[in-house]
């Protein structure tokens, strides 16, 4: 039996210090990591508990932005007054994920670190998976493909990112604040998650022992015209086949600014600025929405089992944009 050591960090600096050894992992709510440990996918040698590290606060930033600490629970963030008022898109996305019990435990930083729910990744007994065991192959390419990527995949991996929250954060241009042994840095949410390439075992740009400290949301004028649409096989406790985070700044019936992010289709939330620019300065009608949808899905390479996702995603984009345009 492998021994696992447990340490409780006093603050962020202490957490980083404790994590500077091979096999160390941070733990907040544990809703994903503990499952992966039980399934023989993750094998940490040391757990660094960050729940007492002072990262559980939501604070206003100068200019109207918001900073959400890494250990803020998903449920608390979703129902926080300032989140609901200024960033309802984020609240909608969080509440569409998991279950009430899991949202009460899961943390904001942990949500960013969720690993794929690809069944070939979690099946350690009978499946080959480059993400779990680099160089072993990708059984998903010849297997059950309904949930897999249509954008940004590689011969090594066709898994998708499972987070709803991250899709909304991508549309909100969030920033991820990190702290490691070399100091602090800030990473744009669009650069935080990686595409698989030849190294699908790396989900993010985090360095070993580097800690997510907080998520910063910049001021937004899109609160009134935003919508998170999640399409899934059942109404609750299911991951997205396709999801859309749409956020608009409107001037009457004209789009002044647009943000569109897709979930359930790639290894990371998927955005394409060229698609958003097709809406800018134009009336929000079905023709323009369809043009943006086609642009966002440009280059899609579906597998035999998920070709339906291309049209499903395009239709979902149009629907989400139209709902967002109507306002609240």
Question: 170, 261 in Cβ contact below 8 A?
Answer: yes
Per-residue pLDDT reduced to its tens digit, 36-68: 999 999 999 999 999 999 999 999 999 999 999
Q: Is residue 51 part of a domain?
A: no
Q: pLDDT by residue (tens digit) across 63-103?
A: 999 999 999 999 999 999 999 999 999 999 999 999 999 99
- Residue 45: the pLDDT is 96
Q: Is residue 18 part of a domain?
A: no
Query: pLDDT tens across 136-157, in order?
Result: 999 999 999 999 999 999 999 9
The residues, any chain, with a CB within 8 Å of residue 38's CB and separated by 6 or more, are none
Distance CA 311, CA 289 (A): 14
Is 315 among the domain residues? Answer: yes
Within a domain: 236: yes
> What pLDDT is recorded for position 184?
98
Dist. CA 89–CA 246, nearest whole Å = 8
> Using CA of residue 59, residue 273, residue 308, residue 140, what is the dihedral sign?
negative
pLDDT at position 1 is 64
Asked whether residue 153 is assigned to any structural domain, the reply reads: no
Structurally, the chain folds into a number of domains equal to: 1
Question: What is the phi-psi region of residue 61: left when phi exceeds 0, alpha when psi lies from -120 to 50, beta otherwise?
Answer: beta
List the domain range (segments joined by +) for residue 261.
226-326
Is residue 185 over pLDDT 80?
yes
Percent of the chain's residues with pLDDT above 70: 100
State the chain's mean pLDDT as an integer.
97
Question: Can you name the residues that pair with 250 across neighbouring β-strands?
Answer: 255
CATH number at residue 293: 3.30.390.50
- Do the domain assignments include residue 167? no
Task: State if pTM tops 0.95.
Answer: yes
76 assigned to some structural domain: no
| Burial degree of 243 (CB within 10 A; 0-12, 13-18, 19+) | buried
Report yes or no on 207 lying in a domain: no
């Amino acid at each position: 039996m492998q021994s696992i050591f447990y340490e409780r960090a006093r603050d962020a600096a202490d957490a980083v210090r404790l994590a500077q050894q091979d096999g160390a992992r941070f733990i907040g709510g544990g809703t994903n990591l503990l499952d992966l440990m039980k399934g023989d996918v993750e094998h940490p040698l040391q757990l660094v508990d960050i729940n007492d590290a002072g990262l559980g606060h939501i604070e206003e930033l100068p200019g109207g932005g918001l900073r959400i600490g890494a250990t803020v629970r998903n449920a608390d963030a979703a129902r926080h007054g300032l989140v609901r008022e200024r960033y309802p898109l984020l609240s909608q996305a969080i509440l569409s994920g998991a279950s009430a019990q899991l949202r009460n435990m899961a943390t904001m930083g942990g949500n960013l670190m969720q690993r794929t729910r690809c069944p070939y990744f979690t099946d350690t007994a009978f499946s080959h998976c480059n993400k779990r065991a680099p160089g072993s192959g990708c059984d998903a390419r010849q297997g059950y493909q309904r949930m897999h990527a249509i954008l940004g995949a590689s011969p090594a991996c066709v898994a998708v990112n499972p987070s709803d929250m991250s899709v909304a954060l991508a549309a909100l241009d969030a920033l991820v604040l990190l702290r490691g042994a070399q100091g602090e840095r800030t990473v744009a949410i669009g650069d935080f998650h990686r595409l698989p390439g030849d190294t699908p075992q790396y989900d993010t740009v985090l360095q070993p022992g580097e800690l997510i400290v907080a998520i910063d949301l910049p001021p937004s004028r899109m609160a009134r015209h935003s919508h998170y649409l999640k399409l899934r096989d059942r109404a609750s406790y299911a991951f997205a086949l396709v999801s859309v985070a749409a956020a608009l700044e409107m001037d009457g019936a004209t789009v002044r600014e647009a943000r569109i992010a897709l979930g359930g289709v790639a290894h990371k939330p998927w955005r394409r600025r060229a698609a958003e620019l097709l809406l800018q300065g134009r009336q929000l009608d079905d023709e323009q929405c369809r043009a943006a949808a086609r642009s966002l899905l440009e280059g899609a390479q579906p597998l035999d089992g998920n070709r339906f996702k291309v049209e499903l995603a395009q239709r979902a984009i149009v629907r989400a944009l139209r709902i967002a345009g109507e306002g609240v």
